[in-house]
Copies of this chain bind each other. A is one copy, B any other.
Amino acid sequence: MSHFSDHDVRLDLLRDRAFNLRWAEQAQDVIPLTAADPDFPAAPVIREAIVRYVQDGVLSYGPPQGLPIFRDSVAGYLRTRRGARVDASGVIAVNSAAAGLAMVARQWLAPGDEAIVMDPVDFLFAHTVRSAGGVPVRWSVTRTGALDLDRLASLITPRTRMLGLCNPHNPLGRCFTRDELTAIGRLAERHDLRILSDEIWSDIVYRPAGFTSMLALDEAIASRTVVVHGFSKSFCLAGLRIGYVAMTDGAACARMLAASEHPSTVDGAATVSQIGAAAAYDRALPWLDAFLEHLRARRDQAVQALNAMPGVQVQAPDATYVAFAKINDPPCTIEDLVDRLRREHGVAVVPGSPRWFGEGAAGHVRICFATSEGILRQGLERMDRGIGSIRADKA
């Protein structure tokens, strides 16, 4: 089964349909290695499930918590693949994982409350905390090495309510171990903090690295955790806007649902999207395995090519399909470098700007490698030539 060759990338459709800094938002000759969104079509079994559902034509209101078939699929997946004690009563379908982060932050934080988030980390952590009126407090993490738990403990104040974890970590590509997560959980227990664990990358993990869900730890930790997950990264379904929040306690989930804007119908996920997502877990896991095999090869390709560029340094990510590369002695600001790469050299990457990822991202660029071998090769060649040329200009 190959779904991931160069000719599986439908550039004609991507130029029409792929927004968020990708093909449809770039000049015709630019290769975007930007937003973490694959260049491949969704799995055939997912498309077939949606087509069957839509052909029947009955597209009435879904329930506020999500379709039973969706919540059953999610709970089954979390139990069998993650060892999490979750049933359908502990799952809410949400209008993207980002919407799930916002739902939890709004409910857990009152104005002025503090939430600890990692540094660097995807901008949605600080963003959703601030949107909820809270104050993000940054905890530095690195690609490897021991977590600084003493530092984490020192950041906790009487105003701290929530610990936001990104595991596997975007953009570092780190999978936190069971021991590390347990230590973090114990700290949360001691200080009565809630844990928001964004596990949207948990399907994209490269052996021998392994993933542990916060919901798979003991009940004292799991019961104070809400996991957010989605289908855009693993199954190329960003346009469907479908994710979920999950927790072990069905009663707590019912309270979160009641306090949300789902019962009013202001918020919620499209039923068609839920059908596609349920099919992903029920029937597309073999496709996901093949995708992961393809991604491992692309990871190795990207890491090798990046490390071969003078003054560029990257550690292979254990998870995610982004490489977070350090630009040593940058010839200009990272923002200018990225801008010139895009305008003059035909390749777009994401700058490690503090406003996107936190101060810990300074001096880095993020490269998404969820594309075909040929497109990735071409994109990295342009980056190599581009950085060389920009450095030469400066010299």
Contacts and interface: CB of A to CB of B under 8 A. Distances in A.
A355 interface: no
Interface string A30-57: 0000010100011010010011001111
- Chain B CB count within 10 A is highest, among A35, A265, A268, for A265
B13 A56 contact: yes
A19 B96 contact: no
- Chain B CB count within 10 A is highest, among A17, A98, A123, A267, for A17
B266 A98 contact: yes
Interface string A108-139: 00000000000000011001100100000000
A10 B56 contact: yes
Contacts of A242: 270
Interface stretch (A143-151, A153-161, A233-241, A290-298): A233-241
Interface in A83-110: 95-96, 98-99, 101-102
A51 B61 contact: no
A272 interface: yes
Interface in A258-287: 261, 264-273
Which size class do A's interface residues fall under?
A: 35 or more
A58 B127 CA distance: 28
Copies in the complex: 2
A42 to B, nearest CB: 5
Contacts of A128: 264, 266
Contacts of A22: 60-61
Contact of A37 (B24, B42, B60, B101): B60
B63 A19 contact: yes
A18 B56 CA distance: 13
23 contacts: A14-B60, A17-B271, A19-B61, A20-B63, A22-B61, A24-B63, A35-B61, A42-B57, A59-B240, A60-B238, A60-B239, A62-B239, A95-B268, A96-B265, A96-B266, A98-B266, A101-B266, A102-B261, A131-B264, A131-B266, A241-B269, A270-B273, A272-B272
Interface of A: 10, 13-14, 17-20, 22-25, 35, 37, 41-42, 44, 47, 50-51, 54-63, 95-96, 98-99, 101-102, 123-124, 127-128, 131, 232, 236-242, 261, 264-273
Given A17-B271, A42-B57, A240-B272, 10 more contacts: A13-B56, A20-B63, A42-B59, A50-B50, A59-B236, A61-B232, A61-B239, A95-B268, A98-B264, A240-B270
